[in-house]
Amino acid sequence: MKSTTIKVLIGFLIGAVSVGGFAVANTPSVPVVKACMDNKSKALFVSSNGSCAKGRTAIDIGATGANVKSIAQLVSPSVVSLEVKSLAGGGTGSGSIIRTTSSISYIVTNNHVIDDAATGGTIDVELNNGDVLVGTIVGRDPEYDLAVVSVKKGNLPVIAQGDSSAVAVGDAVVAFGSPLGLSGTVTSGIVSALNRPVTTGSVSITSYIDAIQTDAAINPGNSGGPLVDSQGRIVGVNSAIASLGTGSAVANTGLGFAIPFNQAKRIINEIIETGKSTKPIFGVSFDSTFTGTGAKIGALTPGKGAEKAGIPVNSIIKSIDGYKINDAVSAIVRIRSKVPGDKVTVVVELVGGTLKTFIVTLDSAPSL
């Protein structure tokens, strides 16, 4: 999601307005239908008068669900643009001010935004007011594609923190960032899907993301910026897009992915407190030659959770905590979404074809 600096000529569309330094596109009005959503089944029922029975929540179908202009004014002061320069390369990205003291402020972004500066280089952090500060890497976690950068300026506006576990498909969301180097850009959309297994990163280091999918326009340079809910609270860290193009042809297709904030928050706090982070360990190696449905266990790590639970080699993981496992990637993503010490319920297919359930306690290990 990094992008090299490019020059672009923009034709501003009719209806574009500037709010708090951020470009926001007006959307046409749409009819609003009053409805009720069952709190358990999530089924929708039309409401003639806007009121709902007990156990159902009133919602508006057709409304944007978010006042984008107000959100832009609220959130934009806590969003920064990042420019990395190094002999290894460079690029632009985005970040959110996540914590501040009287003398220092901490910014969360993607690891792939700043990794070129990890072995020598500079990070310029541009605040919403135009000030440019020197950024320093506090710590990074390539396996979660997260990093924390600090600047020596305190009492900066901090982004409000939301609960990504409360996000539902169809919820309105707003993405902030610097797509294609254009700092101060806001796009809006909805949550298109949850728990998407997504991999990013390089050949040597792969990041596994239990992603929030959104149709809010995300482009190269949006990486590391916040995905916020209808109240302006961060619920995700923009990280990747699905695109039919490659290189400079990569662009938004309505398939953007963000790291759930509840997952990112643990990593961020560990990095700020210790400079490092941890990951949960299941204790297996998967058979990369397996082409069936599920994740086939090729080997067990001695003394770790899977072996302790009694899961045999060559068994095939079919589900973890009720989530269907289609392949090794989805198994890794499901484990990485947990916390060291968590207990997970794993259903495996034994060599003879019998299904068996195991309870596995996840171990802890340092992230790369």
Supply the residues annotated as catalytic.
112, 145, 223
Half-sphere exposure of 242 (CA within 13 A, CB side): 13
DSSP letter (8 states) at residue 77: G
End-to-end Cα distance, the chain: 20
Rounded Cα–Cα distance for residues 250 and 209 (Å):
20
Rounded Cα–Cα distance for residues 99 and 107 (Å):
7
Rounded Cα–Cα distance for residues 281 and 164 (Å):
23
Q: Are the CB atoms for 241 and 215 separated by under 8 Å?
A: no
Q: Are the CB atoms for 3 and 180 separated by under 8 Å?
A: yes
Centre a 10 Å sphere on the Cβ of residue 12 and count the other Cβ atoms it contains: 10
Q: Are the CB atoms for 248 and 220 separated by under 8 Å?
A: no
Centre a 10 Å sphere on the Cβ of residue 119 and count the other Cβ atoms it contains: 9
Rounded Cα–Cα distance for residues 243 and 253 (Å):
6
DSSP 3-state of 172: strand
DSSP 3-state of 295: strand
Q: Which two tokens stand for residue 316?
A: 């095939």
